[in-house]
A and B are shown apart, each in its own frame.
Chain A
Amino acid sequence: MMLVSGFRLSYWGFSFNLVGIVASVVILFWAVVAIFAPLLTPYPIGLIVDYDYFGPMTSEFWLGTDYLGRDMLSRVLYGARYTVGIALAGVFLACFLGVTLGMAAASIGGLFDTVLSRFLDAFNSIPSLLFGLVVVAAVGSTIPVLIITLALIYAPGSYRFSRALAVNINTMDFVTVAKARGEGTLYVIREEIFPNIISPVLADFGLRFVWIVLLLSGLSFLGIGVQPPNADWGALVRENLGALPFGAPAVIVPSFAIASLTISVNMLIDNLPQRVRDQGE
C-alpha cells in the first residue's frame, strides 16, 4: 500500500479516492443488511409491539415505533431487502436488455438499428410513473411485475447510452479487422465491443440503480409498489407520513435510508477506483 497525494490510496494496481471508499462502505452496509435482514431484525415486521404509536427512540425500540406500534428498526432493515433487491433485479434486467440491444444495433446498423432506435425512443417518451401506474392497474402489484416494469422503463435509456458508446468502438480498426476476418455479430459484440465499453456501462448501471430506487420508492409512496404488511422504504415513508407533526423518527429514518443509499451510489460512480497506468519498471 502506498499513500499518494490528495486522499488517494493505491491497492492492487488501483487507486481509490476517500469519498469513493466512504460511499462503498455505506453501500456495503446496506447490502449486508439486505442479505441478513431476517437475522438482524429484533422483532417480526408485522408484530405490534407497543401500544403507543409513533414512539420515540428507546433502548427497547432503537428507531421508535410506526403508526401501528410496530418496531421501526425491524421494518427498515427488512425494507432494505425489498428496495435493494427489487432495484438490483430491475437494473440488471434493464442494463442487460439495453446493452445487448445497443451493441447489436451499433454493430448491425442499417434498418435494424433505425427501427429499434425509433421504437425505443417512442417507448422512452411515455412518462415512467404513468407507465408504472397503468401496468399495476392492469395486472396488479406483485414483485415480479414490479421488477419487469422497472426494467422496461429504464432499458431504453441504457440502450441509447450503450449504443452511443458501441458506435464509437464499432468504427475502430480492430472491429473492422474482426469483420474482415469474417467474424459473426455475436463474436464482435462479445469479444471486441463489450470489453471496451464495460467501464462507462458500469457507471451507467450505478446511476440507473439510483433512479430505479427512487422510482420504486415513488411507486410505493403512491401505494402501488410493495404491498402491506411488507414494505420497502418508499412505502415506509408513506405509511408514517402522519408522524411528521410529531417529529417521530418513523418517517425520518426510511427517508434517510433512501438518501444514504442513492447518494452513496452516486458518489461511488463519481469516484470509481482508477487503474494506475504506471505499474513501475
Chain B
Amino acid sequence: MKDDLAQIRDLQVTATTDAGRQIAIIKGVSFDIAKGEMVALIGESGSGKTTIALTLMGYTRTGCEITGGSVLLKGKEMASLTRAEAAKMRGAVAAYVPQSAASAFNPSQKIMDQVVEVSRIHGLMSDTQAQEKAVELFRALALPNPEIIGDRFPHQVSGGQLQRLSAAMALIADPALMIFDEPTTALDVTTQVEVLRAFKSVMQNSDIGGVYVSHDLAVVAQIADRIVVLKGGEVQEEGTAEQILTAPQHPYTKQLVAAFKPAEYATPIDEAITDTILDVQNTFAGYGLIGKDGMPAFVALKDISLTLKRGQNIGVIGESGCGKSTLARTIAGLLPRASGDIQFDGKPLQADLKDRSREHLRRLQIVFQFADTALNPNKPIGTILGRPLSFYHNMGGRQKEKRVEELLDMVHLPTSLKYRLPGELSGGQKQRINLARALAAEPDLILCDEITSALDTVVAAAILDLLKELQNELGLSYLFISHDLSTVQAICDDVVVMYNGEKVEQTKAADMMHATTHPYSKLLLSSVPKLDLGWLDSLEQDPELMRKFSDR
C-alpha cells in the first residue's frame, strides 16, 4: 500500500542467554501500519508484543538482536540503523509512551522542562514555541489547568495526569508513529476511562500512526482499528477490531475472547448451612503512631463490618488505596486492628497474630498477589509445601512426601515439580503453588489478595476454575479481594465495594450491575471496559461524580 507508514516483514529477534545459547523470541512477524491507523498488539506476557513495538524505534533490549527481516518506518530501515541515526529518529519520528509514567519522569525537574526537552534535543523549534505547543497538547489531552500544569513537579500531579503528560511529551515533536506500551495497565478503571478518552481524541484528529501494546482486549477494542494477536513470538491472527471481537478465527483468539466472559457463578448454597465463618464488626485499623483516641495516625479502615457464611465467598472491590488489602491483613492479624471485633467460626479472633492459637492460624490462610515474592526463591517447591505440613500437622518422612504430591495433584501440577525452585516455574504455576501452600494447612477460610491480578487473562481464568473446584471438594470459603469486577463476579456470592477505607455498599454479585445504589459503585461499575467497540464512545458519566471520586 502507498500510504503505509510502517512495514514489518518477517521480523526475527533473537536473545542470547548467559550461557551463550540463542533463543528466538520473535519468529517471523509481519504486519503494516497505515497513516492515522492504530494497530494493537495483544498477547500474554512473554508473547513479544513490547519487543516488536520497540523494534519500530530500532531498539532492542540488552541481549536481544534483530537477526532477520525488515522494519521499515517511513521508508527507512530501522533494523540496521547506527546509534546516531537511531537517535535522530527516536522522539522525532517514532515516539514512545511507557507503561509507568511515574518512573519515566525525572522527579526533580518541572514537567514542562521535560516535555519540551524532545524538541530541544532535535532542534525543532524555540523553547517558547515548544511551550505554547505543549500547552495546546495539554488542552487537547483534557488536562486540568493546561496553562500552569507544566510548572508542577511530577509528584504534584496524579497518576492518570502523569500518563497523559507523558503522551504530550511524546507528541511534542509531531512524530509519525506513537508507541503506547500498556499505558493504562497501572491505572485504576475510573482513571483509565479518562486517559483512554484523551488518547483517542488526540489520535483521531491527526494522521499519526499508532501501536498500542496491551494484554487487555477490552481496552484495545476501544482504541484500535486493527488488532494483531500474538503468542510465543508469532502472529496468531490479524484483523480489524470488529472481526477479532465478533468472529475470531484462531483457537487462541477464541480462548482470549472467551476468558473475558467469565462463567456466571452459581453458588452451591446449601440452605441448611447457616453458621457464620467470619464476622467482622465495626473494625478500624491503620498505620502510624497510635494517638490519644486509640486510633493510628493514618486510618486505612473505617468502621468495616461484614459477615461470611461457611462455604460461601465474599468479594471486596475498590481502587488502589481504598483499603482492601489492609482489610485482609487486619483479618489475618498481620496488622492488628485498632478497634472493633472479629469472630472466626463463633470464637473471637485476637487482633495480633502473635496472640492467636496455632489452630486459628491454621484455619485462616492468606494468599498474596505476587507469587514471585510469596515463594522463597531459594527453596525447592517440595520444601515450601512441606513446611506447613510439618508445622501444623506434625507430618514427616514418607507421609509428608505423599501429602506434598497430593497437594500438587490437587492444583493440577505434575509431582516432578517438587524438586524445582520457584524461579523455574511459570507465573501461573507459581500461583498454584502459592495456593497449594495455603491448602496444605487444611484451612476453613482463605483470604485471596488479588491473586489473579498479576496473571494473564487465560491463566487467571484457569486459576478461578481451580478455586471453584477446590471449594466444591473441600468446602472452603474465600474472601476474594480484587480490583477486577469480572473476576469477583465469577467467584463470589456477595460483593463489598470499598472507597477510601469505608465500606460503601454490599450487594449480591449476580445482580451487581443493576442493584447498586451508591454513586461511587455505579461509577466504578460503569468504568469497567466492556468487550464492545462502541463502549467508550457511548459511555456517559456524570462529570461532577468523576471529579469527586477519581483523582483527576
A4 within 8 Å of B (CB atoms): yes
Minimum CB–CB distance for A273 against chain B, Å: 12
Interface string of B35-66 (1 = CB under 8 A from A): 00000000000000000000000000000000
Once the chains bind, are B437 and A177 in contact (CB under 8 Å)?
Answer: yes
Once the chains bind, are A180 and B333 in contact (CB under 8 Å)?
Answer: yes
A118 within 8 Å of B (CB atoms): no
A230 within 8 Å of B (CB atoms): no
Once the chains bind, are A174 and B356 in contact (CB under 8 Å)?
Answer: no
Once the chains bind, are A180 and B391 in contact (CB under 8 Å)?
Answer: no
Minimum CB–CB distance for A193 against chain B, Å: 9
The listed residue (A10, A173, A179) touching B370 by CB distance below 8 A is: A173
Once the chains bind, are B378 and A15 in contact (CB under 8 Å)?
Answer: no
Number of interface residues of A (CB under 8 A): 25
Q: A172-B373, A180-B334, A180-B361 are in contact. Are A4 and B20 (CB under 8 A)?
A: yes
Minimum CB–CB distance for B217 against chain A, Å: 29
What residues of chain A lie closer than 8 Å to B332, measured between beta carbons? Answer: 180
Once the chains bind, are B17 and A277 in contact (CB under 8 Å)?
Answer: yes
What residues of chain B lie closer than 8 Å to A183, measured between beta carbons? Answer: 391
Once the chains bind, are A181 and B391 in contact (CB under 8 Å)?
Answer: yes
A2 within 8 Å of B (CB atoms): yes
What residues of chain A lie closer than 8 Å to B391, measured between beta carbons? Answer: 181-183
B357's closest neighbor in chain A, by CB? A182
Q: How many A-B residue pairs have CB under 8 A?
A: 66
Once the chains bind, are A192 and B333 in contact (CB under 8 Å)?
Answer: no
Interface string of A175-196 (1 = CB under 8 A from B): 0110111110000000110011
B358 within 8 Å of A (CB atoms): yes
- Per the bound structure, the CA–CA distance linking A126 and B139 in Å amounts to 61
Interface string of B18-41 (1 = CB under 8 A from A): 111100000000000000000000
Q: A4-B19, A278-B17 are in contact. Are A177 and B368 (CB under 8 A)?
A: yes
The listed residue (B19, B21, B376) touching A195 by CB distance below 8 A is: B376
Once the chains bind, are B374 and A5 in contact (CB under 8 Å)?
Answer: no
A125 within 8 Å of B (CB atoms): no
What residues of chain A lie closer than 8 Å to B373, measured between beta carbons? Answer: 172-174
Once the chains bind, are A180 and B21 in contact (CB under 8 Å)?
Answer: no
- Per the bound structure, the CA–CA distance linking A192 and B384 in Å amounts to 10
Once the chains bind, are A174 and B374 in contact (CB under 8 Å)?
Answer: yes
Minimum CB–CB distance for A111 against chain B, Å: 14
What residues of chain A lie closer than 8 Å to B334, measured between beta carbons? Answer: 176, 179-180
- Per the bound structure, the CA–CA distance linking A191 and B378 in Å amounts to 9
Once the chains bind, are B368 and A278 in contact (CB under 8 Å)?
Answer: no
A110 within 8 Å of B (CB atoms): no
Once the chains bind, are B20 and A196 in contact (CB under 8 Å)?
Answer: no
The listed residue (A172, A182, A196, A280) touching B19 by CB distance below 8 A is: A280
A279 within 8 Å of B (CB atoms): yes
Most buried by B among A2, A196, A278: A278
Q: A173-B370, A180-B333 are in contact. Are A15 and B377 (CB under 8 A)?
A: no
B449's closest neighbor in chain A, by CB? A173
What residues of chain A lie closer than 8 Å to B441, measured between beta carbons? Answer: 181
Q: A277-B17, A280-B19 are in contact. Are A180 and B374 (CB under 8 A)?
A: no
A276 within 8 Å of B (CB atoms): yes
Interface string of A10-48 (1 = CB under 8 A from B): 100001000000000000000000000000000000000
- Per the bound structure, the CA–CA distance linking A7 and B361 in Å amounts to 53
B388's closest neighbor in chain A, by CB? A181
Q: Which 4 A-B pairs have the closest CB atoms?
A: A278-B17, A195-B378, A173-B374, A278-B19
Q: Which residues of B contact A (CB under 8 A)?
A: 17-21, 332-334, 353, 356, 358, 361, 365-366, 368, 370, 373-379, 387-388, 391-392, 437, 441
19 pairs, A vs B, C-beta closer than 8 Å:
A15-B18, A173-B373, A173-B374, A174-B375, A174-B376, A177-B366, A177-B368, A177-B437, A179-B334, A180-B332, A180-B361, A181-B387, A181-B388, A181-B391, A182-B356, A182-B391, A191-B376, A278-B17, A280-B19
